[in-house]
A and B are shown apart, each in its own frame.
Chain A
């Protein structure tokens, strides 16, 4: 299967803990995106990478959030000092340089207790 993969699929953590999610894009897709989706809403853009460079960050991305894509392949999204409001589905998507559409992974569902 050459689709976008995300790990873990589910994460339950206590408030104040740090969490890290991983996304593996489709090979040859040099663009990678992170989104957050809360119940009943559409995805909200968080950040974007082209190869290893983080080119855009949403104002939604507080300083507790950090994302990396060190070798231009997989990416990680870390949330420090989690809050209950961080509970959401975190979606990763990748995009081929010659195409318009993004392909999404299955998401990581975060629950902060």
Chain B
């Protein structure tokens, strides 16, 4: 079974609008971490945001926020006020186990295109 599911292969958003990228995960471990990375066409993976399974509040980092719904096992990324430079592949990832866990799994990604 897929550990990380990203159902949107591609998304379009108008510049300055908000966009939500979907991510659902599958784990039976009570302790885990969820991550979002951005990969521009240059190829480098850029860390955006992290949410721990025990965190009570949704994580936020500037224009990025993570909509964490634990019961639904979803960890959607919300980008507010989209910019042209946000056009890239976005990957959701999960680390099973606590901070010392090393089993990182990435989803297939969503390609976001920001339209001027």
With A41-B108, A100-B52, A100-B95 known as contacts, the answer to whether A93 contacts B45 (CB < 8 A) is: yes
Interface residues of A in 3-46 (CB under 8 A from B): 31, 33, 40-45
* List of B residues within 8 angstroms of A41 by Cβ: 108-109
Instruction: Tell me, yes or no, whether A101 is within 8 Å of chain B by CB.
Output: yes
- Where the two chains meet, the residues of B that have a C-beta atom closer than 8 Å to any C-beta of A are 4, 33, 35, 37, 42-47, 50, 52, 91, 93, 95, 99, 102-109
A81 to B12, CA, bound (A): 42
B44 touches A104 (CB 8 A): yes
Chain A residues at the B interface, C-beta cutoff of 8 Å: 31, 33, 40-45, 48, 55-56, 89, 91, 93, 100-107, 109
Among candidates B46, B91, B99, B105, residue contacting A45 with C-beta atoms closer than 8 Å: B105
Inter-chain contact B45/A91, CB cutoff 8 Å = yes
Q: Binding site of B, secondary structure by majority: helix, strand, loop or mixed?
A: strand
| Nearest 5 A/B pairs, CB to CB | A42-B106, A104-B45, A101-B47, A48-B102, A106-B44
Residue of B nearest to A31 (CB): B102
Report how far A88 CA is from B99 CA in the complex, Å: 29
In the complex, what residues of B have CB within 8 A of residue A42's CB? 4, 91, 93, 106-109
Nearest B residue (CB) for A48:
B102
CB pair A44–B106 under 8 Å, yes or no, is yes
Q: Which residues of B contact A43 (CB under 8 A)?
A: 45, 91, 106
Across-interface contacts of A33 in B (CB, < 8 A): 102, 104
Contact A101 B35 (CB under 8 A): yes
Contacts of A40 in B (CB 8 A): 108-109
CB nearest to A55 among chain B residues: B102
